Amino acid sequence: MDLLDTTAEAEFREVVRAFINEHGHKGKRADGDNEEEALNRHELKAWRAALVERGWVAPAWPKEYGGAGLTIKQQFVLNQELAEHGLSNVGGLGASYFGPTLLVHGTEEQKQELLPGILSGEVMWAQGWSEPGSGSDLASLQTRATRDGDEYVINGQKIWTSGAQFADRMYLLTRTDPDAPKHRGISLLMLNMRQQGVSVRPLTTMDNRQPFNEVFFEDVRVPVSDRIGEENRGWYVGMTLTDFERSDIGSNVAVRHTLASALERAKTASEEQVRGRESGSWRHAFTERWIEGEVSFLFAFLNVSIQDSKMVPNYEASMAKLFLSELNQRVSLINHRLLGLYGMVWDGARDDAANGTYARAHLGSVSSTIAGGSSEIQRNIIATRGLGLPRG
């Protein structure tokens, strides 16, 4: 694992920075629960057009599929610089997770049909993974897809589906063989979210947002041609996608920025505004979080190095996800405590600059050790696949 840029990567980093200087103002995000809210439509269209022209919505995709044909390390540099400047790559789940999985497991016809819509932004995707009774133990899912000639008929429910209220299509795991062992009777299908029989109900989280939904399927028909991979082998396709999901640099950069912002507040605000900073225990804890932020960054480098070697991160991705999600909670707590009692105020705090920010962040961090696979599941993956320990 080489932490330094090669000459070519350093040159590319300068190209990215020049691009950001020219176009970055179009992609600056405000607070919002999704891309459509964070950027107005005109700015979003202009920012996407600038990225599409460069092939940077999906930079490591082959050029024949609309990407830039960049190396994994170059893609890492691009995403790192965008995150450092507070910019969003507008590809969403389609470009980050589903598209790379489609390139590995999809047919040529599926690639030609689906990838252009991801790049252009004409098609937004949601992920149908968890169910009310199948979260951490995802392989126990019960949403059923029954074969009926050239179609599947889907009945069941998904939950915690990020952005489903805005999505045009969903990729989801369904049970196609109820008699097979739970990991072997699952298929990955794609469906139109606008068709009859699909119902979406937003869920309000404790920090008063609606990023997630529950989705119901009642006799929803999907062509067999909209299956990714072999029938009953969808679990393994889905795990490829999950490994891409757990390999992320943007979140690591966000931790750095959050800590840097808190440090600046601790140094410049009055004692009344940041009562926690005088505590020796708070200072020691903050120092620990800062060091852990650097460790988290190294996990990201590890995963990109694995991808750069033409492999898909497995337990290494779980290590990164586990460490980062638990670090997010520790960071939110230390920042929350910086303000003392003001850290609990939701609205109307005397310090307007921190008007509920830390309280919302603290509440929002609760789900980080559950979403994308709970910490318990990540530890099991690390134990069995990484350390070779027997299953309990």
User: In terms of Cα–Cα distance, which of 126, 72, 117, 121 is closest to 97?
Assistant: 126
CA angle 206, 209, 213 (to 5 degrees): 95
What are the structure tokens assigned to 352, written together? 């307007």
Contact 247, 303 (CB under 8 A): yes
Q: What are phi and psi of 216, to 5 degrees?
A: -115, 140
HEC secondary structure over 317-356: HHHHHHHHHHHHHHHHHHHHHHCHHHHHCCCCCCCHHHCC
Q: CA 141, CA 229: separation in Å to the nearest integer? A: 18
Catalytic residues: 245
Distance of CA 24 to the CA centre of its chain: 22
What are the structure tokens assigned to 274, written together? 């940041």
User: In terms of Cα–Cα distance, which of 198, 219, 222 is closest to 149?
Assistant: 222
User: In terms of Cα–Cα distance, which of 232, 150, 157, 220 is closest to 192?
Assistant: 220
Contact 259, 331 (CB under 8 A): yes
What are the structure tokens assigned to 267, written together? 């140094």
Distance of CA 93 to the CA centre of its chain: 7
